[in-house]
Amino acid sequence: MTEQESPEAFGARARAWAAKNLPPAEGPEGLEVDDTEELRIVAEARELQKLIFEAGFAGIRYPAEYGGQGLTRAHQLAWREATAGYRLPVTFNVTHGILGPTLLEFGTHEQKTRHLPAMLSGQELWVQFLSEPSSGSDLAGLLTRAERDGDTFILNGSKIWSTGAHYSDYAMVLARTNPEVPKHRGLSMLYMPIRSPGVTVKPIKLVTGGSHFCQEFFDDVALPVANLLGEENDGWRVASGLLFHERNMVGGNSLNDHVPPGGGEGETDTIGELIALARAVGRDKDPHTRQLLGEALVLEALAEPTIARVNAQLQAGRMPPPAASLVRLMSALTQYRVKEIALEIGGTRVTMNGADDRVGIHGQRWLGARIGTLAGGSQEMQRNGISERVLGLPREVTPDKDVPFSQVLASRRKGQAG
């Protein structure tokens, strides 16, 4: 195609295709699925993604040379609108919204040719191994180490909070390759097949009963040097890029196609659910409840104009890349507030009706409401990012910044600051 198809025409074509090929969405999602059901959903997602790829709709904003469509955000939004109401392979969101864009940004041509088409065609699910049990917000203080032995890195340590590692195929892992330099300068980003010898993956059970997250343990895992992403010891730059894409994705603004407009968590119809809740408890005419519903309507409607504005400023170079924190913080705060609102509308029965009930589900979601203000960087980290990187206010004091990491560790053991 020499001339680019208009978003409207693309959307119309997508709509017609979806009607014929995609299964309809099932009722309100949100109840925690059990492990068997989860694996079924993942298998289905691989099939659906393959279908979408073969029909020429996968990776709408990915370059054509790596299996994508080379189109724009307007086309992506048209796709999202056209496919609302259908089952979509949302399992691939992390792969297409975070790891794919990172590979696109930092990978060699060979690495991209080998893996991007596989991601877009449903063959490879990717995940990131960043956080560790002893370092969350202070990511650069991580302990997992990759020691170089000729053309091989030997990986030892543990990672945590990786989404769906137990059913994924590849991971990007940030590890320390030089402890004798300050913490940010001795890290490297590698990628690895998750089912490598020496890797143990354990799902973590959450308060809501589900286990979307995992912890991994590495015992002398051997990885070829060819799996380096970016330069050795330049992993912090790659990780920063990855985190940028993560904030963008959670804010609904990355290269992953299958997200309903306005939203991060795949809760397709927040307002519809709140209305159903208000009716179920007989409060839909109550003025206070209507104020809360009105507030939720406002919160839901903030996303698109705010994302559009932040995007325009990013593209015009009037805001630096960390401005993605604005979108991430917005989605964290608004989604948290919506969960509070549901609780207040529902009243006593949210704690009485059980997790399988459309009233009780809001009591369960409340228990996990902090996942959204923590995952992908806590809201406090986003606020640091906005004030320091977007507004240019003075940085927080970091006593460990220019000290070789081995010394930081030594003083940590002695219980000193820095």
Partner 1 sequence: MDIELSNEQRFLQETVRKFLEHEAPLSATRDKAANGEPPFTRDYWRRAAELGVAAMLVPEEFGGAGAERPVLDLVVVAEEMGSQVAPGPLLPVSVVADALARDGTRDQKGEYLPRLADGSLLASWAVGEAPDTWEPDGAATWARRDGGDWVISGEKASVEAADVADIFLVTARTADGMAQFLVPRDAPGLSVQMLPRYDLGRLFGDVALEDVRVPAGAAIGEAGSVDASLQRQYLLALTLQAAETVGLLERIFDATIEYTRNRYAFGRPLASYQALKHRIADHKLWLEAALGLSTALARAFAASDEGCGRLASVTKAHIGDQSPAIISDCGQLFGGIAMTWEHDLHLYLRRATANKFLFGSPAQHRERLCRLIGL
CA distance 71 to 208: 38
Question: Binding partner 1 by CB under 8 A: which of 72, 156, 387, 407?
Answer: 387
Q: Which span (50-58, 78-86, 223-231, 329-337) binds partner 1, by CB under 8 A? A: 329-337
CB of 7 to partner 1, least distance (A): 16
Q: Which residue in this structure is represented by tokens 């996968």?
A: 58
Q: What are 190's strand-pairing partners?
A: 173, 228
State both tokens at 179. Answer: 């402890």
386 binds partner 1 (CB under 8 A): yes
| Cβ neighbours around 55 below 10 Å, total | 15
Of 231-270, binders to partner 1 (CB under 8 A) are none
CA distance 389 to 392: 5
Which candidate, 329, 339, 292, 280, places its Cα nearest to that of 307? 329
Q: Do 96 and 116 form a contact (C-beta atoms < 8 A)?
A: no
- Crossing angle between the packed helical segments 73-82 and 7-21, to the nearest 10 degrees: 30
77 binds partner 1 (CB under 8 A): no
For partner 1, which is the closer residue by CB, 343 or 390? Answer: 390
Q: What are 204's strand-pairing partners?
A: 213
CB of 156 to partner 1, least distance (A): 35
Question: Binding partner 1 by CB under 8 A: which of 9, 39, 297, 410?
Answer: 297
CB of 333 to partner 1, least distance (A): 8
For partner 1, which is the closer residue by CB, 18 or 293? Answer: 293
CB of 182 to partner 1, least distance (A): 22
Question: Binding partner 1 by CB under 8 A: which of 152, 306, 351, 411?
Answer: 306
74 binds partner 1 (CB under 8 A): no
222 binds partner 1 (CB under 8 A): no
| Residue 329 to residues 159, 239, 269, 380, 383, Cα–Cα distance (Å) | 24, 19, 21, 9, 7
For partner 1, which is the closer residue by CB, 84 or 333? Answer: 333
Q: Which span (47-55, 102-110, 218-226, 375-383) binds partner 1, by CB under 8 A? A: 375-383
Question: Binding partner 1 by CB under 8 A: which of 330, 341, 345, 408?
Answer: 330
- 344-348 long-range contacts (CB < 8 A, ≥24 apart) are 344/292, 345/274, 345/277, 345/278, 345/281, 345/283, 345/289, 345/292, 345/293, 346/277, 346/281, 347/281, 347/283
380 binds partner 1 (CB under 8 A): yes
So which residues are the catalytic ones? 246
**Strand 187-193 versus strand 170-176 pairing type:** antiparallel
CA distance 161 to 133: 9
383 binds partner 1 (CB under 8 A): yes
Q: Which span (19-27, 57-65, 249-257, 302-310) binds partner 1, by CB under 8 A? A: 302-310
Count residues binding partner 1 (CB under 8 A): 41
Beta strands in 85-212 (DSSP E): 126-129, 145-149, 152-163, 170-176, 187-193, 199-204
Question: Binding partner 1 by CB under 8 A: which of 41, 181, 275, 367?
Answer: 275
286 binds partner 1 (CB under 8 A): no
290 binds partner 1 (CB under 8 A): yes
- Which residues lie near partner 1 (CB under 8 A)? 271, 275, 284, 287, 290-291, 293-295, 297-298, 301-302, 304-310, 312-313, 316, 318, 326, 329-330, 333, 380, 382-388, 390-391, 393-394, 396
